[in-house]
Structure 1
Amino acid sequence: MTTPPHPFASVPPPAPLRVVVADDNPVVRAGLTALLTGHEDITVVAEAADGREACEAARAHRPDVVLLDVRMPGVDGISALPYLVRIASVVMLTYSGESEIVREALRRGAGGYLVHGEFTADQLAAAIRDIGEGRPHFTPTAAGALLSQLRQDPRPTGTLPEGLGAARATNAPSNGLDLPHIPPSPTSAENLSQLQPGVARSSSGWTGGRPVAPDRSRYRLSAREAEIMDLIASGMTNQQIAATCFISEKTVKNHINRIFAKLHSTSRSEAAAKWLGTAPGSGRGVG
């Protein structure tokens, strides 16, 4: 007796999710691409260094998901969002966890918000799958920032912003992507300042179009050590730093030992406080 064929035997597997990675840091872009390459159901089809390149890549490759940084030179992620969401689902993937930026990103169409240092490679892949299927995804800092912002909303219960709650006839927006209308500002902070007053001058120290940063030259860190110290300050573990920088965890530990010696620190939190200028007695200068 011949066994009947399985009804789903000839059904091909679903096509991999097509992803564009947009971040101005080439090391971060390469690291993200390497992390995602190990997942058969995800394919990175293009990389972009700013919002304009992300829009051009999205138009050319028609991805399912765009991983988008917030602060990038030229056209920042927030400015590019309204154009990108016409083509693909977008998830912010950034070091910026300020509540104003989280809320504005969601208002402009982002399907999720991930903060570096708060996810593993597998969790990142899961987030991309969620976003690709229309399910929102947030890491703890982004979720907390959004919740905090909602709790601080001064509008009394039961009221809505002007224009909401009343049906109005409007013309449907064009589906075209008019890139020349994206404002090519010299710095991302200047673009962000147009969103609302609290974004460009926030508690994180952003002011005058550039982030305020301490004078780090006195620490005499090498370029690689400075890069790793930035990742430490962002909250990354040794394993995540190793994956991002394409080095072994042992090499990461060796770098950290030298960094701690130069910063006269005995812990990650102490070193991060000095590096970010938040330690007592740390002077700040315009970066």
Structure 2
Amino acid sequence: MTPRPGRSDPAPPPPMPAVPAAPAALRLVVADDNPVVRAGLTALLSGRPDLTVVAEAADGRQACEAAELHRPDVVLLDVRMPGVDGLAALPFLVRIAPVLMLTYSGESETVREALRRGAGGYLVHGEFTADQLITAVRDVREGRAHLTPTAAGAVLDGLRHAPSATAHAPSPPNSAYSATDFPISAKNLSRMQPPVGQSSRFRLSVREAEIMDLIASGMNNQQIAATCFISEKTVKNHINRIFAKLHSTNRAEATAKWHGDGGDPR
């Protein structure tokens, strides 16, 4: 058919604007030895369209296994858990993903130690709302520290009462546990178990074993305080407990027993 003069075909409709794809949901691992807390956190976090819990863990070992398997965006980690606790697992987990401590443990020393070992934030239960938790997860994912009041107070208190020897002491290690020494794998996760040698023999905690190692290396209280980011008073308290557990009255005697040269504990 011949088109009529003065008329043309209608112009094609303009293309529809591209709709940006929704960002992928942040993938989380929740580690807490209390199953009720784990279930509550999982329900809360997975109820958000931009968050999803890919795994739960009941202790530090399970947290590391889950993180290695799922490669999450953030790990939510309790401090006190049986077997491998949160502080022991931290140096390994932070190599995989940012870690947000989520715990009832608000002791100043614990807060500072968690941050020293690489935690990106520290929330104490009872000091935040659900929305604040969500904000903290996103902040930690982006590298922004997030602390609840108790944790923030612990950091400020540590700065106010930092031992004067810090300025003269060697730079402290990033962690009492070197992640480069123990790469994460299913085969060597057993090395994260609490020490089964002298520390279990004398019933020393992980922190006490760390300080006993420093005593045995010849450090004085001031140097230990600077190395561990704690006050000299706290060092003295630890040493008193160590001496009691090793049935020792001085550093030389404690060191001999620690090295296995001083007889068995009573």
Change (3 A) 1:52 1:148: same
1:73 corresponds to 2:82:
yes
Aligned to 2:123: 114
Aligned counterparts of 1:54 and 1:123: Cα–Cα separation in 2: 23
Q: Is the 8 A contact 1:19 1:45 kept in 2?
A: yes
Read off the aligned partner of 2:169 and give its amino acid letter.
Answer: P
* Counterpart residue number, 1:180: 190
Q: How big is the shift at 1:64?
A: 0.7
Distance in structure 1 (CA, Å) of the matches to 2:98 and 2:150 = 21
Paired residue for 2:159, among 150, 154, 162?
Answer: 150
What is the letter of the counterpart of residue 183 of structure 1?
Q
State the Cα deviation string for residues 62-118 of structure 1 (Å, max 9, x = none): 111000000111000000000000111001111111111111111111000000001
Normalised by the length of structure 1, the TM-score is: 0.60
Larger mean Cα displacement after TM superposition, 177-186 or 37-46 = 177-186
Task: Please state if 1:161 is matched with 2:176.
Answer: no
| Shift, 1:180, TM fit | 2.4
Count the aligned residue pairs.
193
Alignment of 1:241-280 (within 5 A): none
Could you tell me which residue of structure 1 aligns to residue 93 of structure 2?
Answer: 84
User: Displacement of 1:156 after TM fit?
Assistant: 6.3
- Could you list the per-position Cα deviations for residues 18-59 of structure 1 after superposition, in whole angstroms to 9, with x for gaps in the alignment? 100101111111111111122111100111000000000101
- Distance, in Å, in 2 between the alignment partners of 1:41 and 1:73 is 31
Following TM superposition, by how much is the alpha carbon of 1:160 offset from its aligned partner in structure 2, in angstroms?
A: 5.2
TM-superposed CA distance for 1:191, in Å, is 2.5
CA shift for structure 1 position 193: 3.5
SS at match of 1:43: strand
* Contact kept in structure 2, 1:111 and 1:131, CA below 8 Å: yes
Structure 1 residues 155 and 109: CA distance shift in structure 2, 3 A: same
Q: Which runs of 5+ in 1 are unaligned?
A: 165-171, 203-207, 210-287
In structure 1, the residue corresponding to 2:56 is in which secondary structure? strand
- For residue 192 of structure 1, report the CA deviation from its aligned partner: 4.1
Q: Which amino acid aligns with 1:93?
A: L
Distance 2:120 2:31 in 1: 16
Counting only pairs closer than 5 Å after superposition, residues 98-247 of structure 1 correspond to structure 2 as 98-155=107-164, 159=167, 161-163=169-171, 173=180, 176-177=183-184, 178-184=188-194, 190-194=205-209, 198=234
In 1: Cα distance, 2:181 partner to 2:207 partner: 24
Aligned residue number for residue 281 of structure 1: none
The 1:185/1:74 distance shift into structure 2, 3 A limit, reads farther
Structure 2: gaps (5+ residues) = 1-10, 173-178, 212-229, 239-243, 246-266
2:47 corresponds to 1:38: yes
1:11 CA drift (Å): 2.9
Matched letter for residue 65 of structure 2: E
1:97 to 100, 106, 111: 106
Residue 58 (1) aligns with residue 67 (2) = yes
1:62·1:88 contact (CA, 8 Å) conserved in 2?
yes
CA apart distance, 1:154: 1.8
How far apart are residue 189 of structure 1 and its match? Answer: 8.4
The whole-number CA distance in structure 1 between the counterparts of 2:45 and 2:171 is 42
Calculate percent identity across the aligned residue pairs.
Answer: 63
Q: Quote the Cα distance in structure 2 between the aligned partners of 1:101 and 1:189.
A: 17
Quote the RMSD (CA, aligned, Å): 2.9
Once the two structures are TM-superposed, the CA of residue 190 in structure 1 deviates from its matched residue by 2.1
Offset of residue 149 of structure 1: 1.3
**Change in 2 beyond 3 A, CA 1:181/1:56:** same
* Superposition TM-score, scaled by structure 2 size: 0.65
The letter for the 1-side match of 2:147 is: F
Deviates more, 1:10-19 or 1:68-77: 10-19
Deviations 1:115-163 (A, max 9, x none): 0001111111110011111111000110011111111112269x25314
